[in-house]
Structure 1
Amino acid sequence: MTATTFPYHNLITNTPNFANQTPTTPAPNYDDVPLLLSFIYGSIATMSIGGNGIIILVILYDRSIIANPTNMLIFTLAIVDSLTGIVMFFTPSLIIGIRYYSFPTGIPGGAIFCHLVDSFFIFFSLGNLSVMLVMLISIERWAAVVRATKYSKWFALRRVKICIGIVIILVIILNLDNLLGKIYVPGVFPPCVWSPIFPKPSQNLTLFTVFEITRLFLPVLLIILCYVNIAKKTLFSHKVGGLTQEQSAKYIARRRVTTMCFVSSAALVVCWLPNEIYFVMMNFEIIDYSFVVHGVTKTLVIFNSCINPFIYAATNRAYRRSIFQFITRKHNYYKARTHRLTSIANTSNH
């Protein structure tokens, strides 16, 4: 497979051209999602929606929490990851296999679907936005630890919101190769077909390389550099025993949040890098396509959307306590409400 025929940045599905197929007979050689992977992806999507949904509700329940720059970024990341779980349910070849998918037809419905959904534009925009948000969290943690005197000025809540808006726009631009790379072809199955954006393969490869470096490799490099610098700073910082009680409490709280964010960032790097490296090597014809390697690495990418709530609960006592209190509070509320309704029903029967 050459770089001229492989769909650029199509990490999840490797769909050949179906121009010679009839609309009633699915092509036998396209990589549809196996039943096991479909079940795994469905489970991950459900956990992503549920877990991140709890984080969103916990933060919304106490509005004062969201006034903190770190929590504002975590809140936004939870929204993005929960949306990723939702999008997985209607993106072909993830939870629903291509041969079972009811594709929209006609213009503009079919064309819009191919450009936005089947091209994985929405899915990868959300994924790359997660990467960018983790990068912002890493920079925020670096400023809190290494540039503590400048932190309040650099990370005022208004500036954080502006940064979030900027990365959203940037991610949309950096995924234009997906948006423009798939077209609607009526009369074939599947009706969405990959088509080169530029006439020359070298031009398409250049576009892919520039986008790929900007949307993933540079953010990952910044994440790594931030935590390396944080590690150097903490190695030479004051010990907790040499601080006042108030300073000690702030130091411990800052360390816990930074540790939580570091583990979340490390998980993102571990989940995303293998797929990106594999795909880049394949586009440059260094290696050939492998269904097994492709399946394992894409599952890691998808898994990253559901893992953060578990990391927060495992590494940060404050988040763990807030999640537990929120769940028990809601459980007690519904238990009391059910008891009250039952009592009313019993009274009305007498």
Structure 2
Amino acid sequence: MANWTFLENSTSENISDILMEDIPHENVFILPWWKQTLWSLVFGGMVLVATGGNLIVIWIVLAHKQMRTVTNYFLVNLSLADTMVSTLNVIFNFTYMLNTDWPFGWAYCKISNFIAIVSVSASVFTLMAISIDRYMAIMHPLKPRMSRMTTLIITLCIWVAGSLLSLPNLLYSTTITEMFSNGDYRIICFMVWPDGYSNVSYTEYIYNVVILVLTYMLPITSMTYTYFRVGRELWGSQSIGECTEKQLEAVRSKRKIVKMMIVVVFIFAVCWLPYHIYFLLAHHHPEIISSDYVQHIYLAIYWLAMSNSMYNPIIYCWMNSRFRQGFKKVFLMCFCAKKTNSMRLYEQRHHATGHYSCSEPYAYTKVTFNGNANVTLHTVTETLNGSGSFSTPILPPKLVDKKEELSNV
């Protein structure tokens, strides 16, 4: 296996005796350039869509007063967590996984691993908060709704709980250097637990099981129950008497929100299931870590899990008319800004290369007079009593004489 030596800035000198007998000849994890290009395009597209989409969602809610509801505040928190995933974690982890070399230093190794669990925990706990809010609003409509202060307190508790759950990543993450017999080396960012290093420690296995239960199984079970009860209430129950149009519209609006959140939860469950299964299998079957295609398999599993952060804005735009209008407004603003910049550039170039300003409407206008060849008319702008301006064509000398002759007839 590998010969491990710690970096100078590592704080885990007590495990410097982790040395392997067999030293690899070279780094076999470096992918060919074309495979690196393909994976870079796949991950780059995901990061771009996730970051841009979630920032737009945050802007839509915070910039429009009618969008500031309890559910939408939670969606802002969800978008913030997803943005953290795509910008502060995915970019760095993908670079690391591409060549299994960590060039970002010992400190950010801890921060990156910490952010990974914090953001995921914040996302799933926010989804749970939304499901509970929907449950209370529909199943107990007479009870008072959450206030803005209550929403902020719950959001703060979500991040505190996520930080506590991710604290081991901050404490036990470190970097080590693996040397190769040809003189090359690579830096590895991983976790070293009190009872051993990653993939060997039983403590890490227990930690992964806790993460699986608290950030996947428990939330999925809770949200399945709440949305099942809500769905049965909205689609299964029959109201007594005749409903007014306003009541029907309120029911339709609630159904749309519930359907949207059910899709969000379903996508979350599908995206994260292979990721959790992989770590459990890696502990019970360590040989899969050294298989031939494990790098591509893990990249695919990791991309699927992280891509969950880009689906939510797409779902909002698809299933919610207000978010759809907000996205259209943003894209229209970008298009108009691009068009305005293009027109401004055109005007600057035209002014630099011509003798007349674009504001002169008749400049270089061609006319035909008495069958003669086209003659150019130039214009000037005159002001009447300072109240406005108009453009008067300045006739060439020949046309002026001809005009006088006609006026004398």
Q: TM-score range by the shorter chain?
A: 0.7 to 0.9
How many residues get paired?
323
Once the two structures are superposed, what CA deviation does each residue of 1:102-126 show, in whole Å capped at 9, x if it has no partner? Answer: 333xxxxx2x222222xx2212321
- Counterparts in 2 of 1:207 and 1:124: CA distance versus 1, 3 Å: closer
1:314 matches 2:315: no
Q: Distance in 1 between matches of 2:47 and 2:333?
A: 26
2:381 aligned partner: none
Once the two structures are superposed, what CA deviation does each residue of 1:116-169 show, in whole Å capped at 9, x if it has no partner? Answer: 22xx221232122211111111212222222222251xx212111111110101
1:149 aligned partner: 142
Structure with the higher fraction of residues in helix conformation: 1
2:263 aligned partner: 263
Pick the structure with greater CA Rg.
Answer: 2
Q: Distance in 2 between matches of 1:32 and 1:69?
A: 49
1:102 matches 2:117: no
Worse-matched range after superposition: 279-288 or 52-61 = 279-288
Worse-matched range after superposition: 335-344 or 137-146 = 335-344
Worse-matched range after superposition: 272-281 or 249-258 = 272-281
Worse-matched range after superposition: 46-55 or 79-88 = 79-88
Task: State whether residues 81 and 305 of structure 1, in contact with CA within 8 Å, keep that contact through their aligned partners in structure 2.
Answer: yes
Worse-matched range after superposition: 179-188 or 130-139 = 179-188
SS in 2 for 1:40: helix
1:122 aligned partner: 115
1:78 aligned partner: 79
Q: Which has the higher contact order (CA 8 A, sep 6+)?
A: 1
1:254 matches 2:249: no
* Map 1:29-178 → 2, pairs under 5 A: 35=36, 36-66=38-68, 68-88=69-89, 90-94=91-95, 97-98=98-99, 102-104=103-105, 110=106, 112-117=107-112, 120-152=113-145, 155-178=146-169
Structure with the higher fraction of residues in strand conformation: 2
Which of 294, 299, 305 lines up with 2:303 in the alignment?
Answer: 299
Task: State whether residues 138 and 223 of structure 1, in contact with CA within 8 Å, keep that contact through their aligned partners in structure 2.
Answer: yes
SS in 2 for 1:194: strand
Deviation at 1:184, TM superposition (A): 3.2
Task: State whether residues 88 and 95 of structure 1, in contact with CA within 8 Å, keep that contact through their aligned partners in structure 2.
Answer: no
TM-score (norm 2): 0.67
- Counterparts in 2 of 1:26 and 1:309: CA distance versus 1, 3 Å: farther
| Percent sequence identity over aligned pairs | 20
Deviation at 1:171, TM superposition (A): 0.7
One-letter amino acid of the counterpart of residue 216, structure 1: Y
Once the two structures are superposed, what CA deviation does each residue of 1:294-322 show, in whole Å capped at 9, x if it has no partner? Answer: 44432220110101111112222232123
Worse-matched range after superposition: 276-285 or 30-39 = 30-39
1:332 matches 2:336: yes
Task: State whether residues 88 and 94 of structure 1, in contact with CA within 8 Å, keep that contact through their aligned partners in structure 2.
Answer: no
Gaps of 5+ in 1: 1-16, 105-109
How much is the aligned-residue C-alpha RMSD, in angstroms? Answer: 3.7
Q: Distance in 2 between matches of 1:295 and 1:192?
A: 16
One-letter amino acid of the counterpart of residue 58, structure 2: I
- Counterparts in 2 of 1:241 and 1:203: CA distance versus 1, 3 Å: same
Q: Distance in 2 between matches of 1:185 and 1:223?
A: 41
TM-score (norm 1): 0.78
